[in-house]
Structure 1
Amino acid sequence: MDYKKIQDIKKWHQENITKIGIPNRFINCDKSTIEKYIWNKALLAINNNNGLYIYGPVGTGKTYLACTILKEKLLEYKPYLINIGLNIKNNSQNMPELTTILHEEIIEKIQVPDGGSITKMKEADIAEDLGLVFVQPLINIDFVGFNTLLRKIKGTFTMKESTYDENIENESSIVANYSDCLILCIDDLDIEKLSDWSKNILYEIIENRYCNKLITIITTNYNHKELAKKYSDKIVSRLCEMCEPIKLAGTDRRLSKYQKKAAAKKNK
């Protein structure tokens, strides 16, 4: 593979960081800045098909850690350059066995590894040079803020039945999307001013993911006991079984950074 194609793959990964929902502020998050013990514990849990329950005070790096983990898992998805007409077998978890390539179309034969999951191929883009097919895997990772999730669903309530379109998102399709993806991060799980409807939405997503053994990452300011006071025991019980607890301590990094800047200006 030439240098240009390697760069194309790096660009593909970079573009998909935002497509899976990672906020712009965390696009460049780097695992080297995370405490080694915390990083190794979190990555080991994810690689063992467990989720994470990341909790601690405001500004301790919970979202940063979650986004860095998602970026690390995104690297496991690799687009492939394939010579047209060749039979290729690849048993990777994120790549189906390609048994036939005919007239620029890929005929898929899906293999599901034991205890694993596999993504289907989304499309095949024909490279202009070398007669290659650029095969892109369908990314099966999502990041969403809890309040953003609720607003997204509420935004569909004004849709009239007469204008219903199966291609337009509705409550059921949004819940299904976050229930079924291979890895989901629900960021900033709040316990303030929660309606029964909000709790039911969360329970439905968590229950589906629990039953299907899908990786779930939660970030919140609250420990399990505090969360249990607002949510049902059923939700917290499932999260306890699904997720490895990761406690982040320390001072508010954002506030500390602001105070240092303010002090520097004052001393000028």
Structure 2
Amino acid sequence: MAQRQTFDTDAERYAARRPTYPAALFDRLAAYGDLDDGARVVEIGPGTGQATASMAERGWAVTGVELGADLAAVARRQLADFPAVELVVGAFEEWSPPPEPFDAVVCATAWHWLDPATRLRTATRVLRPRGTVAIVWTHHVAGGSQAFFTAAQDCYRRLDPETYEDGPLPEDRVPTPTDELVQSSLVTDVASHRFCVDLTYTGEEYLDLLRTYSTTIRLPAGRRAALLGCLADLIDHRFGGEITKRYTFDLVLGRASHGLPR
């Protein structure tokens, strides 16, 4: 199984534990793209609808192209109140879009799973001229229960050395990944906005979140159980049973410089 397909192994847990996105992020997207009620949007890799719901609530007609059949099934159930949302199962790179161009392409925390050599061209091909490309990058940065995340690296060093690191970087040392759009002739008017959010988890909630990560899923069962047990012991016995994780969400925007003819 390819690593980007592992998320489909537990779609219900993914829906329950993956964070949603700040409302202000969609305010920025709407303003940049002049996206009003009825705007036509393609979402790449919607998962179980973490970003989709916020767009649907604005009256946008969202077509989500999701690789995981189980993820898409959960998304359909959770988005059943929005008839303008359509979920398509398959790889975005292989999807045949309808002839009418879209107003925006949105990809939230999934862009890194696409081929860097072709993903921007594939995305812009479905857009009207000057349609919006919107990419959301999610980072774990220093802050919140920083002492826990520093101590947790010992668990990773022993049980998952491929994921081991020195701990999350300070926000000001995490660059916003704009280079791909800035350096491409496919888009223009590149802009970016950063949003910072602290989320607090009980021990079991945090372990459930980790169980949705591809790096955790790919571990052999014994090492996975040992890693989660090590982290649970830290949270329960040294950090009072809950921890806070700080996220940054980087919204990177561009306008298609070619798009499809009108």
- Output the TM-score relative to the length of structure 1: 0.31
Which structure has greater strand proportion?
2
Compare CA radii of gyration and give the structure with the larger one: 1
